[in-house]
Amino acid sequence: MSTASAAPGFGLYFIDILACMVFCLTLALVSARFGRETTVEIALPELEGASPAHDELTAPSISLRNEAGGVTRFYWEQEVVSLATLRERLAGGGFERVVVRVEESPFTEVVASAKAAGVHDIDIAYEVRAASGATGRSGR
């Protein structure tokens, strides 16, 4: 037999191997392209009257702690201050925002329950008791 009939057989194997290599190369390129992490910039809407997150870091922190004997201590940042000093600092500071931290109480439980229920606008009414009588005030 002649060797001429064997040559097309080797050519078919070569074409199969070449097709397989092209398929593998294509698969590698496609998977590498879709495997990259992509980022998309999203412009989130801003709420009216909302303060930027960094304001919470710059706002003064006022803490109220119940000490032994039913005494309430006022802290400006980490410093113990009197109520008069606290009022002076608030009046003279020109702050738009303060962070008030209090221990668990019935008041804080009511506020936390309202927030958990989706209430975001909570008015606080308070009463100032004077020696001559009680006058009511409300705040926000």
Residue 25 to residue 56: CA distance in whole angstroms: 54
pLDDT tens readout for residues 94-135: 888 888 888 877 888 888 888 889 888 888 887 877 765 545
Lowest model confidence (mean pLDDT) among 10-19, 52-61, 76-85, 111-120: 52-61
Residue 56 to residue 131: CA distance in whole angstroms: 37
Tokens linked to 5: 């009939």
pLDDT band at 81 (very low <50, low <70, confident <90, very high): very high
**Nearest alpha-carbon partner for 103 in 63, 61, 57:** 63
pTM for the whole structure: 0.46
What is the model's pLDDT at position 42? Answer: 65
